[in-house]
DNA sequence: ATGGTTGTTTAACAA
């Protein structure tokens, strides 16, 4: 099974990107974040036409929104809510073989990395704390996958400059700590770093504001694929499809891919 | 220290 996660930064003006990625990669399952569209206005037909007969959407107007496009049948679609907020950041389905798939768009956290003065940063930390508590109650021996834009770059090699980003939201020690607790709570295995040496710099997001994103290469690894221990031996390959960052009207995030022997 | 770019929705706001 080939699975892609991609923050598409609004699905409606970027359908051509999904078409192009499907032509290049032929994935079985695509998990999207930041679809920025309410469910009634989601472009189902063009995505069905691409071969994704099974689509589960969880959107809202203008902000956030997640969706799962699949060639394989999906069961048990669930929408999950955190921090007592009625937004659209987390959905789950069950894939054939009983594999539970979670698609998450974690709050970005605003600019100021201080929960006392920045409610968005407080929300981000609380979201991870609540997730950690919930995952601790679930059985990690079940086959599960968690993907998404988690808006945290945990390793020093997940950012272009560890030193220069220590006080920048996405790489602060307090975020990395919360992120680590969420990961440890369910013994999640980082499927991408299982295949790509953690010593090697690896990014999935580059700001639109750079004149030349590739030349400056000031990236961060914000998009992740995690699996529970039963699936860890089944990771065949993992990769960031960086070339998509150069496509016309690109998202600021690149697709992240994993191939699992399931 | 500041500004740089996108999308959504229409003057900001979020990222």
d(CA A27, CA A9): 19
* CA–C1' gap, A110 and B13, in angstroms: 11
Q: What is the pLDDT of residue A210?
A: 95
Task: Kindly determine whether the C-beta of residue A167 is less than 7 Å away from any atom of nucleic acid strand B.
Answer: no
What does the pLDDT look like over A197-212, one tens digit per residue?
999 999 999 999 999 9
Q: What is the pLDDT of residue A98?
A: 98
d(CA A73, CA A68): 11
Task: Kindly determine whether the C-beta of residue A16 is less than 7 Å away from any atom of nucleic acid strand B.
Answer: no
Cβ–Cβ < 8 Å for A88, A59: yes
Smallest CA-to-CA distance from A234 within A256, A262, A193 is with A262
Nucleotide nearest to A37 (CA to C1'): B8
Q: What is the pLDDT of residue A177?
A: 98
> A254 pLDDT band (50/70/90 cuts)?
very high
d(CA A123, CA A125): 6
* Alpha helices (H) in A79-220, listed in sequence order: 119-136, 162-165, 173-184, 191-195, 213-216
d(CA A44, CA A4): 18
Task: Kindly determine whether the C-beta of residue A62 is less than 7 Å away from any atom of nucleic acid strand B.
Answer: yes
d(CA A110, CA A192): 26
Residue A178 per-residue DSSP state: H
Q: Which residue has the tokens 């930064």?
A: A9
Task: Kindly determine whether the C-beta of residue A131 is less than 7 Å away from any atom of nucleic acid strand B.
Answer: no
Q: What is the pLDDT of residue A156?
A: 98
Q: What is the pLDDT of residue A27?
A: 98
Q: Which residue has the tokens 């699975």?
A: A3
Cβ–Cβ < 8 Å for A18, A30: yes
Cα four-point dihedral sign A200, A203, A209, A212:
positive
Residue nearest to nucleotide B3 (CA to C1'): A209
What does the pLDDT look like over A25-41, one tens digit per residue?
999 999 999 999 999 99
Q: What angle do CA A253, A256, A259 make, to 5 degrees?
A: 170
What does the pLDDT look like over A68-116, one tens digit per residue?
999 999 999 999 999 999 999 999 999 999 999 999 999 999 999 999 9
Mean pLDDT of chain A: 98
List the end-to-end C-alpha distance of chain A, in Å, as a whole number. 6
> A18 pLDDT band (50/70/90 cuts)?
very high
The tally of CA atoms less than 13 A away on the side-chain side of residue A135 is 26
Q: What is the pLDDT of residue A83?
A: 98
> A196 pLDDT band (50/70/90 cuts)?
very high
């Amino acid at each position: 099974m080939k699975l892609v996660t991609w923050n598409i930064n609004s699905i409606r003006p970027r359908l051509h990107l999904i078409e192009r990625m499907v032509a290049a990669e032929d994935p079985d399952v695509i998990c999207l974040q930041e679809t920025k569209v309410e469910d009634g206005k989601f472009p189902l037909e063009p995505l069905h036409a691409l071969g994704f007969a099974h689509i589960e959407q969880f959107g809202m107007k203008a902000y956030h929104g997640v969706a799962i496009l699949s060639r394989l049948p999906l069961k048990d679609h669930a929408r999950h809510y955190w921090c007592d907020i009625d937004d659209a950041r987390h959905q789950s389905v069950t894939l054939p073989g009983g594999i539970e798939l979670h698609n998450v768009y974690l709050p970005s956290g605003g600019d100021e990395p201080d929960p006392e003065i920045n409610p968005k940063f407080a929300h981000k930390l609380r979201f991870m704390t609540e997730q950690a508590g919930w995952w601790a109650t679930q059985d990690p021996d079940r086959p599960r996958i968690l993907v998404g834009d988690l808006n945290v770059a945990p390793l020093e090699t997940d950012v272009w400059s560890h030193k220069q980003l220590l006080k920048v939201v996405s790489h602060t020690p307090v975020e990395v700590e919360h992120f680590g607790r969420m990961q440890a709570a369910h013994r999640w295995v980082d499927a991408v770093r299982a295949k790509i040496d953690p010593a090697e710099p690896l990014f999935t997001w580059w700001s639109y504001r750079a004149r030349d994103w590739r030349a400056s290469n000031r990236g961060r690894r914000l998009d992740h694929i995690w699996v529970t221990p039963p699936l860890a031996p089944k990771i065949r390959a993992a990769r960031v499809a960086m070339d998509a960052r150069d496509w016309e009207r690109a998202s600021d995030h690149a697709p992240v891919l994993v191939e699992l022997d399931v």
